[in-house]
Structure 1
Amino acid sequence: MKKAEFKLEELSCPSCLMKIDKAVKSHKEVVKSSVNVMFNSSKVTFDFNDDFDVNIVKESIEKLGFDVLKVNVK
């Protein structure tokens, strides 16, 4: 299992947080209980299966209209 952290553009409303949370959790390879969207720091963290390409989640967030500024995978 690996962990990802995405730094996003500044989030401006709580509904943005909910949209991003739903998009990340929609991927079956993501451990849903690990998803954390942080409003004040504009970050998303989640755990995922080793063979999963996190760029798929990045694309899902960007399709919602939010820029992913940085991706860290541990």
Structure 2
Amino acid sequence: MSKSKTKIYKSYDSNILEALFLKYGVSKYYIRQSINGTVKGLTPDIIKKDYSKMVKENETTVQNFINKTLE
């Protein structure tokens, strides 16, 4: 008998997906597939790099806001 496991889905920041959608003009599905690594090519690699940059900047901005609030 096998154990049933539920699949864990990755969630992506919807604001960043929207920004990439506006920047590249491709579907959000294509952007998610590019970030996931399902789609291969030059554009998906650039999208993946842009997404990771935007996530880091977003986290930094939120952390700075938290630090200023706690002062």
Settle same-fold status: TM greater than 0.5.
no
User: More strand by proportion, 1 or 2?
Assistant: 1
Q: What range is the shorter-chain TM-score in?
A: 0.3 to 0.5
Structure with greater contact order relative to length (CA < 8 Å, sep ≥ 6):
1
TM-score between both structures, scaled by the size of structure 2: 0.37
TM-score between both structures, scaled by the size of structure 1: 0.36
User: More helix by proportion, 1 or 2?
Assistant: 2
